[in-house]
Amino acid sequence: MWQRIVCSLTLCLIALAGNSLANNLAGYEGYTKYTVEHGNENAFRYMVDLQTNETDLDFWLLTRNMSVLTVSPTLKSQFESRLSNLGVSYQVQPLMELMAALQANSTYADEDVDREYEECQSADCGESQRPRRRSRRQARGFFSHYPRYSEILSFMSGLASRYPQYCRYESLGRSNEGRHIAGLSISLNTRTRPRRVAYIQAAAHGREWITTQTVLYLAYELLSNLRAFQRVLQDVEVFLVPLVNPDGYEYTHTSDRFWRKNRHRYAGHACSGVDINRNFGNHWNYQGASQNLCSEVYSGTSPNSEPETSAVVRYLEFNRHRVKLSLDVHSFGKFIFYPYGYAKNTVPPTVGTLRSVALRAANQIGKYRGTRYTIGTSASILYEASGSLDDFAYGSLGIPLSYTLELPGDEFHVPSSDIIHVCKETFAGFVEFIRHVSLY
C-alpha cells in the first residue's frame, strides 16, 4: 500500500517537473532547427541579413561557411525556397524533438544537493565539519545541473563566507528588473589591493546557461586549491561576474528557453529586450547590430544604455589601469575571439600577443579531452558585429588582453552529464589567461 502511494507521488512530481520545464518552450511548436552549409558569399550575406532584420527565426550560430538557426512554421516554406535558389545544402530537425532528447539527458535543481550545500554554509559550520570529501561531493552536485538565479547567489555568498580572507562577494548594480549583478573578487589577501585584475564575465545572453557554470567552477576550484595557484594569483585579483544578464537567464528558465537579450520593456511596444553584446560603446551599432526593437541583435537606444552594460562599464572604467584581462564567456562554437569584431579587415597593433596568449589557452583546454578551438577575430571567422565587450575593453579602455570565449556544444542546452567536463577543460584555459596577467 505504502509503496503504491510513494510511486504515485513520485509520478506526480515527475509530471509536475515536466510541465514546469515545458513552460519555457511554449510557443516553439512547429519550429524547425536548420543546419545550413553555405560555401558562397551570396548565401552568407543572405544569412547575415536575416539575422539582423528577420524576427521569425533565431540564429544559434552563424559562421562564413555554415549556420545553425531555428525557423518558425510561418517562414519555413519561404526560407527553404530561398535556400534552394541559392544552391545550398541543409539538414532539418523538429525543434521540439531535439529539446525532448536533450531534456531527457538533463537534470535540474536537486533539492537534496542544495540543502546539503546550504547546511554547510551556515555560520556555525566550522572547517572541521566540512571535510574535503563532502565538499567535493557538494561541488559535483552543484555542477551537475543548471541552477537558478537565487541558487547562484547562494553559491557565491557561500564561497565568500567560507573563504573570507580570500574572497569578497559584492554587487556591481541591479538589472532592469532589479536583480543583483553579483561579483566575486578572489585574491590571496583581500586587505591589500593587487595591482592587476583579471575580469571574467558570463551569461550576457540569457540562454547560454553553461557559461555561468564554468565561471562558478573557476571560483570554486581557485578557492579550494589556493596553495596550488599561489603563483598564478600572485599580485593578481580575479574578478568574476557569472551572471551579467540575470533577468534574461531567469526568463529562459520560466518562459522562453531561447531568450537572448535582457528584459528591458518599452511602453507601447510588444517586443522587448536589448542584446547586451551589441550595447557596449565601441563602434556602437556600426555593423551586425540592429535598431529594430524586435531583432535578436537590437543594440539599444544608445551606447551603454542598459543597466547591465553600464554596471560592467562602471567597474571597468573605475579599474581601467588595473584590469589587464577582459574575458567574456559565451556559448557555443569553440572559438576564442580577440578584437576587432566590428570590421573584417581591422586588427589591433598587438595582434601577435593576443593570438599567442589565445593559442596557449586553447592548448591547455585541449589537454583535457582533445577539444579544439578556432582562434581569430569574430569578424573574420563569423561576421562583423559591433558593440561587444572585447572591442570596448581593448579599443576604448586599453585593456591589453581582451577576448570572447565561445564554449563547445552543438546547441545552447549542454546535457547535464557534460557540464562538469566543459567546466574542467575551460578551467585550464581560464588559468592560462590569468597567468598572463602577471606579465603586465
More confident of the two residues 137 and 48: 48
What are the pLDDT digits (tens) for 176-209?
A: 999 999 999 999 976 677 789 999 999 999 999 9
Would you say 86 and 38 are in contact if contact means Cβ atoms under 8 Å apart?
A: yes
User: Is 0.85 surpassed by the pTM of this model?
Assistant: yes
Catalytic pick from 250, 306, 406, 425? 406
Strands 167-174 and 89-94: unpaired
Peptide bond into 146 cis (omega under 30): no
Let me know the angle formed at the C-alpha of 260 by 257 and 262, rounded to the nearest 5 degrees: 110
Where along the chain do its domains lie?
A: 32-104, 146-437
What does residue 240 show for φ and ψ, rounded to 5 degrees? -115, 135
Name the strand (E) or helix (H) holding 427: helix 416-437
DSSP state, 272?
B
**CATH class of the domain whose range is 32-104:** alpha beta
- CATH 3.40.630.10 is the classification of domain 146-437: yes
Question: Is residue 250 flagged as an active site residue?
Answer: no
What pLDDT, on a 0 to 100 scale, did the predictor assign at position 21? 52
Take residue 284 and report the three cell numbers written for it.
Answer: 556602437
For 119-134, b/e burial (b = at least 16 CB within 10 A) is eebeeeeeeeeeeeee
Which residues, 6+ apart, have CB-to-CB distance to 321 below 8 Å?
Answer: none
What are the pLDDT digits (tens) for 335-364?
A: 999 999 999 889 899 999 999 999 999 999
Give the residues across from 328 on adjacent strands: 201, 404
DSSP string, 251-262: HHHHT-TT--S-
Take residue 49 and report the three cell numbers written for it.
Answer: 541579413
DSSP 3-state of 230: helix
Would you say 274 and 299 are in contact if contact means Cβ atoms under 8 Å apart?
A: yes
Let me know the angle formed at the C-alpha of 178 by 116 and 391, rounded to the nearest 5 degrees: 95
What pLDDT, on a 0 to 100 scale, did the predictor assign at position 411? 84
What are the pLDDT digits (tens) for 300-342?
A: 999 999 999 999 999 999 999 999 999 999 999 999 999 999 9
What are the pLDDT digits (tens) for 11-50?
A: 343 344 444 456 788 889 999 999 999 878 889 999 999 8
Which residues, 6+ apart, have CB-to-CB distance to 193 below 8 Å?
Answer: 187, 237, 322
**Is the fold of 32-104 the same as that of 146-437?**
no
| C-alpha–C-alpha distance, residues 213 and 243, integer Å | 10
Q: What is the mean pLDDT of residues 416-434?
A: 96
More confident of the two residues 106 and 261: 261
| Position 9, amino acid | L
Q: Confidence band (pLDDT; 50, 70, 90) for 135?
A: low
